[in-house]
Amino acid sequence: MVRRMNKKIPEIRFKGFNDEWISNNLGDMIDISSASRVHKDEWTSEGIPFFRSSDVISKYMRKYNTPAFISDTLYQELSKKSGKMKVGDLLVTGGGTIGVPYLIENEDPLYFKDADLIWLKNAGVIDGRFLYNFYISPQTRRYISSITHIGTISHYTI
């Protein structure tokens, strides 16, 4: 993008698009939040999938990770508080290996670990595939790395 007399105009244009680009913060366009707390003793051996950072990273790396679950009763209770994920939403790792996305591609029930994963409630505002590819782009990976709070474990906060 080139600044021409304080205007945001890209160097390469799509035919029919002549106006300035509009700049928005992601948090102004979609809701960014997390889940309600689920304690480890509430995990079950079957039921509703319960994602942790390790599950998102495993899916991204196409590797197996031992799954965790919660009961349908707990899922329904927690979903009343925090809502249910929808197609096009993204979960993004916020601890350890940060900024790894997981795209919600269907309406199957799924819950996730609070604080470990950041929930981008897209609500159809932005194509979820665009958000996913944005998060895996080298530029975004470098940016996230530059703003991370690094201690014993890296953190990317809401």
Report percent pLDDT > 70 for the chain.
87
Lowest-pLDDT range of 6-20, 37-51, 123-137, 143-157: 143-157
Instruction: Give me the domains of the chain, ranges plus CATH numbers.
Output: 30-147 (3.90.220.20)
Q: What is the DSSP string of 40-62?
A: GGGEESSSEEEE-HHHHHHHHHT
Its pTM stands at 0.82
Tens-place pLDDT, residues 70-119? 999 999 999 999 999 999 999 999 877 889 999 999 999 999 998 789 99
Looking at per-residue confidence, does 148 or 77 come out higher? 77
